[in-house]
Amino acid sequence: MSGPTNPFPVRLALLVLSMGVAAPGLYCQQTSASSYSGISVEASPQVFATMCALDAAGFGADESTLAEMPTRLALRADLLKMQGPATQALRQFYHDHELADPGETLSRYMAFALVAGPPPGFQFQGEHDLLPPEVLAIDGFQEVLVNFYREANLGYRWTGIEPEYDRAIARYQSPLSNIVTLSNAYLREVLKPARGRAFTVYVEPLVGNRTLFRNNGNHYAIIVGAGSQIPMDQIQHAFLHFLLDSLVLQYRDDLTKKSALLNLGARAPRLPDEYRSDFIAFTDECLIKAVELRLRHLSPAKLEEALKDADQSGFTMVRPFVVQLQKFEKSEPAMSYYFPDLIAGLDVEAEKKRLQNATFAPAEATPTRVHDGASAGQGMDELHTWLAQGERQIALRDVAGAMATFEKVLQHYPNQPQAVFGLAVASVLSGEEDQAEDLFGKIVAASSPSSSQDPGQEIDPAIVAWSHVYLGRIHDLEEERRLAVNEYRAALAVDGAPESARVAAQRGVEAPYKPSEQGKDNAPQKP
């Protein structure tokens, strides 16, 4: 199938790479938080509409933040009493996708709001093969929200409530400007306008004391409530990600030479799973925590206490980063120029010696989570964490990391469909066409009635449908049109396939797939 002159690997990579993460819709009224381009505090009609849908569905929002927003409080009461076909469909959808943890439930819907376009259509912007995993977990909500938005007349309601949001936004202007100024001053950086890069604080009172931080491509967003306490630490942490993530990625090859440092922290029971096998993410988080400590101007005793806590929690690179930052503070270059010296100062052997007899804090007790009807228990929780990590790595284009994560899942959970699909998509990204075709083929074979697949391991129809679509596209790239059409038709025949997969399959039947012409596909990769 492949040969020395075969252009397929490059074209196959385009199959996914041309389907980038959709940039969030920046369609709401913008109120500049500072003189820096791309940084703002806003109210989002998308977030508002999504929160209204949760109100009507019975989500336990925090009403304590609405003391100074009587119109919004009255709307919430109205939505809870609403009746109508769209509202009933919304409540059924919410019930079918509700998680045991309200925070995780809210997180999924707010992730959706951050990648949705403006009302009334809420169309995702650009390609969707690599939408955030949390959004894919509530596939179908877009259509539900469109119908509810119309039935509840939310466009008119938003006009009446917007002034209350404007007052809430005003409270965040000065705090955000201070965070921007102090962070840039410490790093000795001057933010310059960069096309497509943005940092936005979205104010939504009903998220209460929760904060939700996401970055989709070059847009970093944090959703905050309107309570009496402004979450300064969380906003600063998100803004430091905005400033430093690209720098860490720029020097990832130099950092990877220090990857043995991850093995030291990975032994800590409290280290979040998302960092255990992702050295770049681990490094990034430790660097940001170190900068935060330096910005707090702690006394030597307090600093040592904080560093000890970081070590015991597994963030073992915080301490050496603090040491390097102390040197940076005495130098002159901006961080973007000094960063190679900071990396060079990390002494792997010295850190190994320092931590060889380290005692880490025991794991904290956490409530068991239940995800979409999955049975409770440590195994399912572990599986969910690994799958989410792999999907996040795909979204960040960390192909090697994603492949390692999905391969780890398959070692512990052989033939797990979501992991097989994730590994197949990662193989597409890496240009390994034979492996990609084989893996998509395994999913299709396992879904057939004659398969020996464990009957207790039902395969998500979305995964099956998209596997057929990907196979069809692979055949199209190989100019095997008859085989491609067969796959597209098979996708259309999958019972329960999402509308997005059906649209992509129908287009495939009508015309051969060409990556450069797929900018309008609605093709989410379902986990």
The Cβ of residue 445 has, within 10 Å, a number of other Cβ atoms equal to 13
Question: By percentage, how much of the chain surpasses pLDDT 70?
Answer: 80
DSSP E strand stretches across 38-169:
39-42
Q: What is the pLDDT of residue 137?
A: 84
Q: How would residue 396 be classed by pLDDT, with cut points 50, 70 and 90?
A: low
Q: How far apart are CA 448 and CA 446, in angstroms?
A: 6
Q: Mean pLDDT, to the nearest integer, of 346-372? A: 74
Q: What is the pLDDT of residue 518?
A: 40
Token representation of residue 123: 């169309």
Question: By percentage, how much of the chain surpasses pLDDT 90?
Answer: 41
271-317 confidence digits (pLDDT tens): 988 888 889 999 999 999 999 999 999 999 999 999 999 999 999 99
With a cut of 50, say whether residue 32 has pLDDT above it.
no
The three-state secondary structure class of 478 is coil
* HSE-up (13 A, CA, CB side) for residue 241: 22
Range of weakest confidence among 255-264, 409-418, 443-452? 443-452
Q: How far apart are CA 419 and CA 123, in angstroms?
A: 28
Q: What is the pLDDT of residue 356?
A: 87
With a cut of 90, say whether residue 351 has pLDDT above it.
yes
Q: Where are the alpha helices (DSSP H) in 196-317?
A: 232-250, 252-256, 260-265, 273-276, 279-295, 300-313
Q: How would residue 87 be classed by pLDDT, with cut points 50, 70 and 90?
A: very high
Phi and psi angles of residue 115, each rounded to the nearest 5 degrees, phi first: -115, 0
With a cut of 60, say whether residue 6 has pLDDT above it.
no
User: What Rg, from alpha-carbon coordinates, does the chain have?
Assistant: 24
Would you identify the CATH topology of the domain 379-517? 1.25.40
Tell how far CA 473 is from the center of its chain.
26
Q: How would residue 42 be classed by pLDDT, with cut points 50, 70 and 90?
A: very high
Q: What is the pLDDT of residue 142?
A: 92
Phi and psi angles of residue 82, each rounded to the nearest 5 degrees, phi first: -65, 145
With a cut of 50, say whether residue 517 has pLDDT above it.
no
Most confident residue range from 125-139, 169-183, 424-438: 169-183
Q: What is the pLDDT of residue 373?
A: 34
Q: What is the pLDDT of residue 519?
A: 39
Q: Where are the alpha helices (DSSP H) in 345-460?
A: 348-355, 378-395, 399-412, 417-430, 433-446
Tell how far CA 35 is from the center of its chain.
28
Q: How far apart are CA 477 and CA 75, in angstroms?
A: 52
Q: How far apart are CA 289 and CA 342, in angstroms?
A: 15
Q: What is the pLDDT of residue 130?
A: 65
463-473 confidence digits (pLDDT tens): 898 899 999 99
Token representation of residue 156: 């008119």
DSSP structural state of residue 461: H
Q: What is the pLDDT of residue 20?
A: 33
Q: Mean pLDDT, to the nearest integer, of 37-62? A: 89
Closest alpha carbon to 49 in 27, 20, 21, 64: 27
With a cut of 50, say whether residue 377 has pLDDT above it.
no
Q: What is the pLDDT of residue 353?
A: 93
So where are the chain's domains?
30-232, 255-355, 379-517
Q: How would residue 153 be classed by pLDDT, with cut points 50, 70 and 90?
A: very high
Q: How far apart are CA 234 and CA 240, in angstroms?
A: 10
477-493 confidence digits (pLDDT tens): 888 999 999 999 999 99
Q: How would residue 412 be classed by pLDDT, with cut points 50, 70 and 90?
A: confident
Q: How would residue 61 be classed by pLDDT, with cut points 50, 70 and 90?
A: confident
Q: How far apart are CA 322 and CA 298, in angstroms?
A: 12
Q: Mean pLDDT, to the nearest integer, of 67-95? A: 90
Q: Mean pLDDT, to the nearest integer, of 205-209? A: 83
Q: In angstroms, how far apart are the furthest CA atoms of the chain?
A: 72
Q: How far apart are CA 474 and CA 2, in angstroms?
A: 12
Q: What is the pLDDT of residue 131?
A: 75
The three-state secondary structure class of 361 is coil
Q: What is the pLDDT of residue 234?
A: 93
Q: Mean pLDDT, to the nearest integer, of 444-458? A: 63
Determine if the peptide bond prior to 120 is cis (ω within 30°): yes
Q: What is the pLDDT of residue 303?
A: 94
